[in-house]
Amino acid sequence: MKVTTQNKINEWLAGFLQKSVVIAPVETEGKFVYRQIEEYSQIAWDFERTDMPPKTAVFPMTEPILYIEQGSKTILKNPPLPKNKIVFGVRPCDARSMLALDALFINKEPIDPQYAHHRESVTLIGLSCPQMWDSCFCTVVGGAPNSTDGLDILITKVGDHYAVQTFTEKGTELTDKLISEEKDLAIPKPVLTENLPTLQKSGEWMELFNNIFWEELSQSCISCRACSFVCPTCRCFDVRDELTAFRPGVKEFERLRAWDSCTAAGYRRIAGGHNPRDTQNKRLRNRFYCKFAYYPDDFGPLGCVGCGRCIDACPAGINILEVITRVEQMTEREKVNG
Amino acid sequence: MLEEMNILTNPNLATITGITDLATNIKLVQVQLDDPGVRKNFKYSPGQFAEVSVFGVGESPFGLASSSDRGDTIEFAVNRVGTLTEALFRLDIGDQVGVRGPLGHGFPMEDFKGNNILILGGGIGGAPLRPIIQTIFDHRKDYGKVTILWAARSPDLLVFTNEYDEWRSQPDVALHLTVDKATEGWQHDEGLITALIEKSKPSPENTITVTCGPPIMIKFAMLTLEKMGFQPKQNWVTLEAKMKCGVGKCGRCNMGGVFVCTDGPVFCFEEVKQFLESFV
């Protein structure tokens, strides 16, 4: 087992900081978020789960997709290629979420070149979870606190040392300077939360589409969209033109894409007023169905990695794990009743 | 510079060559793509759409109302109902717009050959059906009897009125009009299109139906056709939805696991019957 120490990790990161963009978890106003850092001392090590996912490294909250200059002629330009980024301290669930996004943006035609460039530009260095935290349910959706899916490197704390595993060429090259020694070290299994429900397959969810449960659940939803904005797999986006510069005879615009959420009241409203998802019930139901039925049916992976951030973020107490549990119960009841 | 292959973000520049009144609050916009190479290769089938940009205002999907077999002028009908369509209404000949496309799946005109065709158009929904009519007329012998039932809320909302005589003059073509509310001098039917369907008693035998219009009209047209013996697989629809990316990435236009922009907007009704509730 290749191992390293805290000091060596710090040196390693310091080395990257001299020539790369490094994004890592930092603590700001009591919350843990991923930010670009200037010094390794900024990194927060004592987080359980960050409040915002590292999704922003490949799918920013807002980003220009087109630059438009309108003068006597109209000139269009694409944004420049993104810089290479090291994303440090990625939890296994968040790494799996990148794979879920890849299934849509890269593996399904047409490829989204901008997302693909971002994806190529990042190196994901994971930090294993020694246990499942409150609200976590990664094991329900095919993940694990020590999952290696989607990571270039995974670092696991074992006593005074850190075990280092690499999974890609990029990862192996980068850990060259990191390793301090080979040690006979057993990585303890992470502590799993017990008594979690079994996720039903998309077919079972579809059977329950018209169940009154969804209407009851959505009574408290206020369409605040917090669930979508903290979610590592949500990817719905809006596109808008914004004026960025104005001088005689010339206007410059940015066409931006920005995070959006299907739970927003006007999400599907077309000009003229027609809105096929005009009630909270239809919208909230769509979000859960997208994650557990539509997304896997269309693209392969589930649209949820069990990070539990939405459970913490929802001001109305709507709990995705409770939803999964209820769906399991309702499905079992159907089977029993025949 | 533009990465040419980026259909997700990169529109082609086009110039407006015509902008004329089609109906009350509806204009027909005609554009030509600026780049000669792009213009030559911009081929589309009836039912496909394009995302049209008014730079600085935004981008919206519009059904292509022309046939690329007939020339390189691209036409689409615009109903003034929102921010972007308001901006389009203020444009003039010579103004530049963006055209991203062609997007979506069009009608399978090859598969329709040999059939009688029943065309149901409601309001501006007639616009994406017009290229079907044009394609059929350009290959008249390949298709059977054509019945066009054209509807609108009132006579001033009927589209392509100046082409009706030409349509009627084609062999084995019947055109019937109906409006919800007639005005003085109206000489055709008054009532919903469902009444007109029942009145014209179309035979389901060897017939394909094609419908476009407001969601509620599609719903009731399908019910009426079913009542008259049409199987869901004989009925084709083209649906509308709020769209942004137009290529199945932004997630917005889903009906269940189906995206209107990439799996449609043209659908065999059999495919989307289960989603009836979600698009009405």
Query: pLDDT tens track of chain B, all 280 residues?
Result: 566 568 899 999 999 999 999 999 999 999 999 999 999 999 999 999 999 999 999 999 999 999 999 999 999 999 999 999 999 999 999 999 999 999 999 999 999 999 999 999 999 999 999 999 999 999 999 999 999 999 999 999 999 999 999 999 999 999 999 999 999 999 999 999 999 999 999 999 999 999 999 989 999 999 999 999 999 999 999 999 999 999 999 999 999 999 999 999 999 999 998 887 666 6
Tell me the β-bridge partners of B97.
Answer: B14
Interface contact B6-A298, CB threshold 8 A: no
Whether B220 contacts B194, CB under 8 Å = yes
Cα gap A42→A196, rounded to integer Å? 36
Which residue of A205, A298, A302 to mutate against B (max B Cβ within 10 Å)? A298
Residues of A in contact with B3 (CB under 8 A): 78, 113
State residue B275's pLDDT score. 80
State residue B119's pLDDT score. 98
Whether A43 contacts A218, CB under 8 Å = no
Measure the N-to-C terminal CA separation of chain B; round to a whole number of Å. 42
> How much is the mean pLDDT over chain B?
95
Residues of A in contact with B38 (CB under 8 A): none
Structure tokens at A316: 């109305």
Complete DSSP assignment for A200-233: PPHHHHHHTTT-THHHHHGGG-----HHHHH-SS
Domain of A248? Answer: 2-337
Q: Is A80 on the interface with B (CB under 8 A)?
A: no
Cα gap B234→A262, rounded to integer Å? 33
Interface contact B252-A290, CB threshold 8 A: no
For the range A314-322, what are the long-range contacts, defined as Cβ-Cβ under 8 Å and sequence gap of 24 or more? A314/A226, A314/A227, A315/A222, A315/A224, A315/A226, A316/A220, A316/A221, A316/A222, A316/A224, A317/A220, A318/A217, A318/A220, A318/A221, A318/A227, A318/A284, A320/A227, A320/A288, A320/A291, A321/A135, A321/A137, A321/A140, A321/A196, A321/A197
State residue B280's pLDDT score. 60
Considering CB atoms only, which of B11, B55, B59 is closest to A70? B55
Please report where in the chains the tokens 């199945």 appear, as a residue: B248
Please name the residue of chain B whose CA is at the shortest distance from the CA of residue A102: B249
Domains: count for chain A: 1
Whether B31 contacts B271, CB under 8 Å = no
State residue B279's pLDDT score. 62
pLDDT in tens, B181-197: 999 999 999 999 999 99
Task: Select from A108, A76, A171 the least CA-distant residue to B59.
Answer: A76
Spatial CB neighbours of A268, under 8 Å, sequence gap ≥ 6: A262, A275, A276, A277, B241, B242, B252, B253
State residue A185's pLDDT score. 84
State residue A179's pLDDT score. 83
Interface contact B249-A269, CB threshold 8 A: no
Residues of A in contact with B242 (CB under 8 A): 267-270
Interface contact A243-B256, CB threshold 8 A: no
State residue B3's pLDDT score. 61
Residues 87-146 on B with a CB inside 8 Å of A are 96, 98
DSSP label at residue B46: T
Which residue of B53, B55, B260, B279 to mutate against A (max A Cβ within 10 Å)? B55
Measure the N-to-C terminal CA separation of chain A; round to a whole number of Å. 53
Q: Which residues of chain A have pLDDT under 50?
A: none
HSE (side-chain half, CA atoms, 13 Å) at A21:
14
Cα gap B103→B7, rounded to integer Å? 9
User: What is the pTM assigned to this prediction?
Assistant: 0.94
Q: How far is the alpha carbon of A285 from chain B, nearest alpha carbon, in Å?
A: 11
What is the helix (H) or strand (E) element at residue B89, kind and residue range? helix B83-89
Residue B237, sorted as left (phi over 0), alpha (psi -120 to 50) or beta, turns out to be beta
Q: How far is the alpha carbon of A190 from chain B, nearest alpha carbon, in Å?
A: 35
State residue B278's pLDDT score. 63
State residue A335's pLDDT score. 84
Q: Which domains does chain B have, with CATH numbers?
A: 12-103 (2.40.30.10), 109-279 (3.40.50.80)
Residues 228-257 on A with a CB inside 8 Å of B are 235-241, 243, 251, 253, 255, 257
pLDDT in tens, A145-194: 999 999 999 999 999 999 999 999 999 999 988 888 898 888 999 999 99
Neighbours of B32 (CB within 10 A): 17
State residue A176's pLDDT score. 86
Order of strands across the sheet that contains B26-33? B58-63, B49-54, B96-103, B12-23, B26-33, B74-79
DSSP label at residue B82: S
